[in-house]
Structure 1
Amino acid sequence: MLYYIFRWLEEYGISGSHLWGYISFRGIVALILALIISAWFGEKFIKCLKRKQITEVQRDASIDPFGVKKIGVPSMGGIIIIVALLIPVLLLGRLRNIYLILMVVTTVWLGFLGGMDDFIKIFRHNKEGLKGKYKIVGQVTIGLIVGLVLWASPDVKANLNLEVTKNDGTEMVVQHKDKAEKTLKTTIPLVKNHNLDYSEIMSFCGKYKTAAGWILFVIMTIVVVTAVSNGANLNDGMDGMCAGNSAIIGVVLGILAYVSSHLRYAAYLNIMYIPGSEELVVFFMAFIGALIGFLWYNAYPAQVFMGDTGSLTIGGIIAVGAIIIHKELLLPILCGIFFIESLSVIVQVYYYKLGKRKGVKQRIFKRTPIHDNFRTQDSQLDPECKYLIKVPHNAVHESKITIRFWITTIILAALAIITLKIR
């Protein structure tokens, strides 16, 4: 909104109005504004939640060996993140940008889905919340919408990168096609040509390989959105854990969105130039600011939990942002913590069911998701159950686990960035 107002004022020569045309200026303002809104609104919202007794369903106290009782802590704090994110985006973003529209729709959609889950837990006193199949349907639906829009919208285009030899034949340089076009290519790490073409994967379909490639792309979008959203949801088990990890991931996606929207930087990194993706910089700067402001209240000991309202939304935002800038194949590295959390639950359930069929009680980890394994003492374990991994034997405090997970995410974020130059 403000972007259009100040661009209009610029036509009349109003001093300072030209600043709103710079993506760096709008991005920094979005970050500061989101942080302030998150911190200010967060305090008011937490007091409101306490008055109305909208608090977390009592968690299993036996998980925490340090005896921290998380009773009476307000939940649905994800609303703080969503409000602090959307207000700067709507004020500072170019609202006709298709990528920004998709990010806003994803935020609202998954925020509503997570809010329904928290509502059922709190007001219906149902610890299970929204049934898993309904969550999956909601995640698959938004993934389908995003995939189809990216397929059908004429505004979704990219200038493909080309390696050409200088006139003197001394070295190869990267240039981009003069004309932006629809493309099924995506950046793939650690590969020399740096691009994977979905239509080439479907080349066995012959003359229909392009259509089949788009179908594969839509399916991939659904899978990525669902997986990352659920991974963030599982990571939200300790104070500050998910918010901190997601803020770090948001920094990387903001950087990648910026270089993808800058012709010279895109050429230097040998990645696709994506016109219009600069608006994602505003979005992710607001995303970072909202999460940092939320950490003011969510850091140990938490004054508020984000709930599924926040965690499902955060994961969806990360997934859709990466898909838009053709970096979805970097997510297993960048979101490595989310991936490990999800994988730990999957293998734990599979191994337990495998033993159950044999009449043996067995588990791989002491508890899952994996972060719970580190705060579980050996004395808390079921003596009738066999555990493959029982380290650490003594529990680690959750604040230390959280910080160590943050550090791991920083390392993975650095690796994700440098893979753009390692081929």
Structure 2
Amino acid sequence: MLYEFLYPYHVDFSFLNIFRYITFRTIYGGLTAFLICFLVGPFVIRKLTQMQIGQIIQTDGPQSHMGKQGTPTMGGILILFSVFMTTIIWGNLSNHYVNILLLTLLLFGFIGFVDDYLMQIKKRNMGFSAKGKFLIQVLFGLIIGWLIYKCPDFNSTLTIPFFKDISPDLGIWYIPFACLVIVATSNAVNLTDGLDGLAIGPYIVASVTYMFFAYVAGHLQIAEYLHLRHIASAGEIAVVCGTLAGAGLGFLWFNAHPAQIFMGDSGSIPLGGILGTIAIITKQEILLLIVGGLFVIEALSVIIQVSYFKLTKGKRIFRMAPLHHHFELKGWHESKVIVRFWIISITLALLSLSTLKIR
């Protein structure tokens, strides 16, 4: 909004020329998103508490979690509000990729909000059925994949990490592939959100990492130097990544152990969906396996546990899945699990950034 309103006047007021710089708007977008979360957070926590929208702890989980019973949840609405408003303020709304990301936030935010609403306000035992939620995610994922595929400066080739000369073209099949990435990332982030700050910490790291990828992809000279595919409109995605990181930091202020608020499905599902969409737009889809490696590990632990349990008729590989619960039951304190998982996510992010030169 500021870009559209103020930048046209840079001819008369030269200092307004600063609004054309993506780096400037990314930094101040991140700061704005942080301040919105930080300032609005106490109000949201009070309202959720008054409405008795509290976390429901399953009795079959770690007993140390019973103290979290009743902690305000659905805090994802705070993150989504912050990201949406900040992107409108600092983003270039004429950019088709920015609009697609805002749509992704709304569509997957709708899934998460309704799921939380049915459980927390309607007091049902569960929100969407697993099958119903998955089918809606797939539908929305196909819509987003199709919109990206139809963008004029987008092509359907894949970028393979560490290999600059291997770029298979999926053609129309890129749409279901994009859907797979978006839905898988959405569910992986959702599964990771089980401890105070466990999901939002690595998410901030992933957002900052893709902020660099987006800026590089949108910068012609840097992209050519690094032998990356140049996507002219993708640079603006760095602003959105900055708002995601800023909002994540603002939310972490209240979500750090011991958490005053949880994001719930209202936050984890849309945040995962938009991260997957960013990976597709920046042509770093495969690299998401490394950038979001922690989310992948958590999701795989659930898949492995469930599959092994069915095959062996009751045996388990992990003490409990997702993986963070396994380490809790081994005696690790919650804070130790969280910090060590953050360390893993930072390490994986650094490894992914190295692929810009190791090609």
- Fold conserved between structures, TM > 0.5: yes
Letter in 2 for 1:343: L
- Give runs of aligned pairs for residues 387-398 of structure 1, distance below 5 A: 392=330, 395-398=331-334
Aligned residue type for 2:114:
M
Equivalent of 2:320 in 363, 367, 380:
367
**Residue-by-residue CA offset, 1:357-381 (whole Å, 9 max, x unaligned):** xxxx3111100001100001xxxxx
Shift of residue 198, structure 1, vs aligned partner: 2.3
1:5-404 maps to which residues of 2 (within 5 A)? Answer: 5-11=5-11, 13-60=12-59, 62-64=61-63, 66=64, 69-154=67-152, 156-157=153-154, 183-193=155-165, 195-199=166-170, 213-214=171-172, 216-356=173-313, 361-376=314-329, 392=330, 395-404=331-340
Q: Per the alignment, in what secondary structure is the counterpart of residue 375 of structure 1?
A: helix
Q: Is the CA contact (8 Å cut-off) linking 1:59 and 1:70 kept in structure 2?
A: no
Confirm or deny: 8 A CA contact 2:116 2:265 kept in the other structure. Answer: yes
Q: Deviations over 1:83-113 (max 9, x none)?
A: 1111110011111111001100000111111
CA contact (8 A) 2:190 2:265 kept: yes
Q: Is the 8 A contact 1:85 1:287 kept in 2?
A: yes
Amino acid at match of 1:302: A
CA separation of 1:116/1:372 partners in 2, compared to 1, >3 Å: closer, same or farther? same
Which structure shows the higher helix fraction?
Answer: 2
Could you tell me how far apart the structure 1 residues matched to 2:211 and 2:338 are? 23
Q: Distance in 2 between matches of 1:61 and 1:40?
A: 36
> Which of 347, 354, 357 is the matching residue for 1:418?
354
8 Å Cα contact 2:100/2:148 also seen in 1: no
Once the two structures are TM-superposed, the CA of residue 345 in structure 1 deviates from its matched residue by 0.8
Per-residue CA deviations over 1:380-402 (Å, capped at 9, x if unaligned) read xxxxxxxxxxxx4xx11111101
Q: Which runs of 5+ in 1 are unaligned?
A: 158-182, 200-212, 377-391
Q: Of Structure 1 and Structure 2, which has the larger fraction of its residues in strand?
A: 1
Match of 2:209, SS state, is helix
Q: Which amino acid aligns with 1:185?
A: T
Q: How far is 1:187 from its partner?
A: 1.3
Paired with 2:187 and 2:296, the residues of 1 have a C-alpha distance of 9
Letter in 1 for 2:204: A
Scaled by the length of structure 1, the TM-score of the pair is 0.82
Determine helix, strand or coil for the equivalent of 1:82.
helix
Specify the SS of the correspondent of 2:158. strand
Q: Is the 8 A contact 2:279 2:285 kept in 1?
A: yes
Q: Which moved more, 1:125-134 or 1:265-274?
A: 125-134
Identity %: 38
Aligned length: 359
CA offset at residue 15 of structure 1? 4.5
Q: Is the 8 A contact 2:57 2:65 kept in 1?
A: no
Q: Which structure: larger Rg?
A: 1
1:257 is displaced (CA, Å) by: 0.2
Under a length normalisation based on structure 2, what TM-score does the superposition of the two structures give?
Answer: 0.97
Long gaps (5+) in structure 2: none
| CA shift for structure 1 position 231 | 0.3
Alignment RMSD:
1.4
Structure 1 residue matching 2:23: 3-state secondary structure: helix
